[in-house]
Amino acid sequence: MKQFSRKQFLNRSIVLASTLSLLGGEWFLYAKDPEKVINVEPPEGLKPISENDPTAQALGFHQDAKNTDFILYPERKLPQSKNHVCNQCVQFTKLNDGWGKCNILQAGVVSTNGWCSAWSKKN
């Protein structure tokens, strides 16, 4: 078995601790703010639409499609639904790598990984 010097052990421990800290911090952000689903800021001056917006709620919208209510929308569990996200929706206009505008939900920007029941395939 390979032996590590004390210096190598410390270096690897620091790298591991930093990595875990970053991952843990990111997860904490997501857990604390469910609308912060991606690590890209919305374009300047624009805010993500709230999932509590009445229209968003009526359409079962979530900024992260994985948070869909699968009891209300069981079709979302089908394998072919995997790529049904805002980024692939005809109503979506990309603004940056993480966000875009939706023609239906106009109170804020939507995540590229979002979904609502009005989803329709982009041609």
Return the range that interacts with ligand SF4 (CB under 6 A); candidates 1-9, 14-22, 35-43, 104-112.
Answer: 104-112
3-state secondary structure 71-111: CCCHHHHCHHHCCCCHHHECCEEECCCCEEEECCCCCCEEE
Q: How far apart are CA 55 and CA 67, in angstroms?
A: 17
Site string for ligand SF4, 43-72 (x = CB under 6 A): ------------------x-----------
Return the range that interacts with ligand SF4 (CB under 6 A); candidates 5-13, 30-38, 71-79, 89-97.
Answer: 89-97
User: What's the token pair of residue 50?
Assistant: 């709230």
Single residue of 68, 105, 108, 112 touching ligand SF4 by CB under 6 A = 105
